[in-house]
Structure 1
Amino acid sequence: MTMPVSDIPDLFDQAALHRNLARAAAKGNLPGFLDDVAAAELIDRFESISRRFSQIAVISHDASRIIDAIKPHLPDDCIITVIPMLTENRVFLDSPDLPREAFDCIFACPGLEWANDLPGSLTRLRQALKPDGVLLAAMLGGESLHELRASWLQAETMMMAGASPRVAPFCDVRDAGGLLQRAGFALPVVDTDRLKVRYDNGLALMNDLKALGLSNIMAERHRSLVTPGLMAMVCAHYDQTFADPDSRVRATFQMIYLTGWSPHESQPKPLRPGSAKTRLADALKVDERKLPRD
């Protein structure tokens, strides 16, 4: 039996996420380096598409980098709509509200990793595309910050006889293609990249995450303050386990890139099973043999 969507508890505290990101933006920390990496990759994917665009939406903390890069490839009459990641009271991609069939290209860079209903958010983005329109999106993947997750788990298990959610369980790359198909996208393409970032120590990493608005916003997180002893143990485990020979520590950020097309009759479709006119053995120039029965 499938649980109704309305009965599924929220994974992320969207109010806390909005406060954190708004504070980071006010201090000039957004867009951060993750936004820059994602934007560069999505621009490369856009430039490989040979077609005419007339309506483009860019959902980002700062759309200027994407717009500056793609403008030379666009006709003069192309309209670009900039949609801030943060609205007055929510993070836009948690539940994107867009007119239907309004755009032939949508950039979402990044932010989908924080959506409580990721299939629903992808569906609404697909509905905002014209037929044969394309979504170019980036989001953090499940391998992100696995070092920090392990350090919190180790420290809390030793000091508190149990662990609370500390690092978000982002989407696994193996599931991303299925999510695109579930949302109604055709010709889904998913690929991933891993970015290794180095810090002086584990505490410097956590301070950087806080500055970028990426502090813990899990809905089931402990609301009490972290004790100095627990924080010291987390940092000690991180610094001892994930240090390079020069004593600096490494942190993994996995970025998942999504490309999906709004369905259109002109798109290539898979052949019907059994419709092949040439045997595989002939194409491979090998002898066909029956497998022995058990």
Structure 2
Amino acid sequence: MSTYDLAGGSPRQRIVTAIFNPTILTLIGFLVIWEIAAMSFSPRDLPGLVQLAELTFTVVSGGDRYYFPEHAWITFQRIGIAFVITMVIGVTVGIAMGYGVIERYMTTPVMVVLTFPSVVWAFIAVMWFGLTTYLVMVFVIVVIVAPYVIVNVWKGAESIDHDLLEMADAFDASTAMKWRHIYIPFLMPFLFSSGRLAIALSWKLSLVAEIFGASSGIGYVINIYYEAVRADMIIAWSVPIMLLMFGIERVLKRVENNYFEWRPELDDVTSEVQSG
């Protein structure tokens, strides 16, 4: 194979391939549609791309009447706390269900909670706990996201190759050795996919919960601008955290792809969980 082939073609071919990348084309199409749609609305309702960029820069740089770093920091704290609690609960219960320990007792409760509307949980949490700094937001995220993690890990634990376990038993492998060499390596891809799913859901739920049950945070500021009928500022405050969370999710996805290419069926399992 020549150096030309290894390089993936000429520079011109690589540029053409990059330009016609489906992701880039989709993004360009979305931006064009946005700009065309913005012409039919007032800037306060749907800002054009240039105005949105200016508003977003003003928000991120702290030039808005509400200080973005302060509200963003408290939102990230809530997301981080809820993420850790969600993963601990989801992984623990999911593994226990996958190995048949509590599957008969937990399947129905998990599925019931999984189908409960997120907005209703936000209302209930505010009624139970009032306006809080952390409790309402963390509670809403955990109670909604944990079932997704549980189901993902549960199905992953169920699909462990039993031939490997029988081989380990034949060689008198200890429980610790089974966990180290079979269970944990097999479950790691499912843990990564569960983490990506939890991050993708957590930041959205945090904003919803902050609208109803907080006096600080990005969701709180969004609610203020909603009452002021400023859709442009709502979008400007949402864009930075959306881009950040998308970047984190993509980094985790890249790590997952690099380390777990031997599990091509993983995305199929995750897709089933998300659609279910």
Higher share of residues assigned strand: 1
With normalisation by structure 1, the TM-score equals 0.24
* Relative contact order, higher structure (CA 8 A, sep 6+): 2
- Which structure shows the higher helix fraction? 2
